Amino acid sequence: MKLLRTIQLDPSDTFVFDRAAEPGEWAISGSFVFLNDDATALTGKARSAFRAGFLGVQTLGWSTLCQIVEASDDDHAAATEILARQFAEKFGAPTIEDATLAAREEFAFANSLCTHPADTLIAVHRTQEDGQIREAFRSLRPKDGPKPLRAFAFLEAEGDEEPDERIDLTALGRAESEKR
- The residue type at 73: D
Is pLDDT at 178 greater than 90 in this prediction? Answer: no
Mean confidence (pLDDT) of the chain: 88
Distance (Å, whole) CA 69 – CA 3 = 6
pLDDT score of 130: 87
Q: What is the pTM of this model?
A: 0.79
Closest CA to 84 of 68, 69, 102: 102
Question: Which is higher by pLDDT, 27 or 173?
Answer: 27
H helices present in the chain, as ranges: 13-16, 44-52, 73-90, 96-112, 169-179
pLDDT score of 141: 79
pLDDT score of 63: 98
Question: Which is higher by pLDDT, 50 or 159?
Answer: 50
